[in-house]
Amino acid sequence: MPARRRHPGSFRLRITVCLAWVISHAAHAAEIIDCHVHLWTLARPAGITWIKKDDPVLHRDFLPRDHEPIAKANGVTGVVLVQAGQSLPDNQWNLDVTAHNPKLYRGLVGNLSEAIGTDAFAPLFTSLCKDPRYLGYRLSGRYQDELGPAFYRDLELTAKAGKSVDFLIGGYSLKDVDTIARRVPGLRIILNHFGNVRLDGKPLDPAWVADFRAAAKHPNVHCKVSALYGRVEKQPAPKDLDFYRPILDLAFDAFGEDRLVFGSDWPVTETTGDYASVLALTRAYFDAKGPTVSGKVFHRNATAFYVIPPAS
């Protein structure tokens, strides 16, 4: 029986489909969503109090016009902005200052540290959530001695609204996060900057490691692979990947490939090095684990955790 001849058009079609899949897959794998970028202007009424006035790098304005060329040059396709201070009006300011470019600025993590646990929380939170780019808020300062019923009431409201909470460990401890994650299992929580670890080249503190692992046991707690340079006690920070392996290995072991999210902490990174250097440092670690892991850390986990709306 003579062999069936395949139509050349059919062969070309299959080749075209395969090439399209490869190109699409490569583009998807290369996608970068940076989940920790700050913008600010010193002219805001509350200012940015954590920046020293004699800081030659950070004591100036950082606005979209400064950031957008850097994002483009480094292949960043989406950004989750994180409010730089705790001023309540600055939640709306961050939304407004990025409204011109929703394709890049995909969402905002505001800051409701001053409002949570008070009567001001619910109306302000509800109003901010009218903007689909308001993804949640950060708790970076603590204004209550006890985490009482009103505090948990507002966290339950946050969970019900489908929004998330970033924790900057300091005013709140890893033990607090452990307790909160247990009491509000429906709340999506993410630790900023590896739980605000401090790196000095010495072994990590065993007590801190135990608290970090305890928080990681909760499936609703995630961790940002962010501020690598900023976690170093002595600045400028090293650019040698081996210096950071202990905390990267710990985070990967504790949270796994599905609960780690990349964040640059730009422009604070500028204290040590440019954006490209911190991105390259982070990529070197996760790319070595293969494209599936790298793709999760650099964009898929971010999209799932923050429920980032499609680019418009």
Which CATH number goes with the domain that contains 95?
Answer: 3.20.20.140
Taking the C-alpha atoms of residue 24 and residue 122, their distance in angstroms, rounded to an integer, is 42
pLDDT at residue 146 is higher than 60: yes
Average pLDDT value for residue range 250-259: 98
| Residue 16 confidence class, pLDDT cut points 50, 70, 90 | very low
Q: How buried is 130 (Cβ within 10 angstroms: 0-12 exposed, 13-18 middle, 19+ buried)?
A: exposed
Q: What is the pLDDT of residues 45-88, one digit of tens each?
A: 999 999 999 999 999 999 999 999 999 999 999 999 999 999 99
Strand partners, 139: 167
Q: How many domains does the chain have?
A: 1
pLDDT at residue 8 is higher than 60: no
User: Above pLDDT 70, what percent of the chain?
Assistant: 91
pLDDT at residue 228 is higher than 70: yes
pLDDT at residue 152 is higher than 50: yes
The two tokens of residue 277 are 């250097």
| Any domain includes 57 | yes
The confidence score (pLDDT) of residue 238 equals 95
Strand partners, 134: 108
Q: What is the pLDDT of residues 282-310, one digit of tens each?
A: 999 999 999 999 999 999 999 999 999 98
Strand partners, 32: 76
- Beta carbons of 102 and 312 less than 8 angstroms apart: yes
Taking the C-alpha atoms of residue 40 and residue 23, their distance in angstroms, rounded to an integer, is 37
| Residue 30 confidence class, pLDDT cut points 50, 70, 90 | confident
Taking the C-alpha atoms of residue 34 and residue 70, their distance in angstroms, rounded to an integer, is 12
Taking the C-alpha atoms of residue 117 and residue 56, their distance in angstroms, rounded to an integer, is 37
Taking the C-alpha atoms of residue 267 and residue 248, their distance in angstroms, rounded to an integer, is 21
Q: b/e per residue, 16-46, with b = 16+ CB within 10 A?
A: eeeeeeeeeeeeeeebbbbbbbbbbeeeeee
Greatest CA separation for the chain: 87
pLDDT at residue 26 is higher than 90: no
Mean pLDDT score across all residues of the chain: 92
pLDDT at residue 18 is higher than 60: no
Average pLDDT value for residue range 80-105: 98
| Any domain includes 24 | no
Higher pLDDT, 14 or 214: 214
pLDDT at residue 21 is higher than 70: no
| Any domain includes 67 | yes
The two tokens of residue 223 are 């961790």
Domain hosting residue 277, numbered range: 31-306
| Any domain includes 6 | no
What are the residues whose beta carbons fall under 8 Å from the beta carbon of 307, sequence distance 6 or more?
Answer: 135, 162, 164
The confidence score (pLDDT) of residue 43 equals 95
The confidence score (pLDDT) of residue 310 equals 86
| Any domain includes 156 | yes
Which of 119-123, 144-148, 248-252, 253-257 is least confident?
144-148
The confidence score (pLDDT) of residue 17 equals 34
| Any domain includes 23 | no
Q: How buried is 251 (Cβ within 10 angstroms: 0-12 exposed, 13-18 middle, 19+ buried)?
A: buried
| Any domain includes 19 | no
| Any domain includes 9 | no
The CA-atom distances, in angstroms, between 25 and each of 19, 20, 35, 40, 207 are 10, 8, 22, 36, 42
Sign of the dihedral through C-alpha 259, 264, 269, 275:
positive
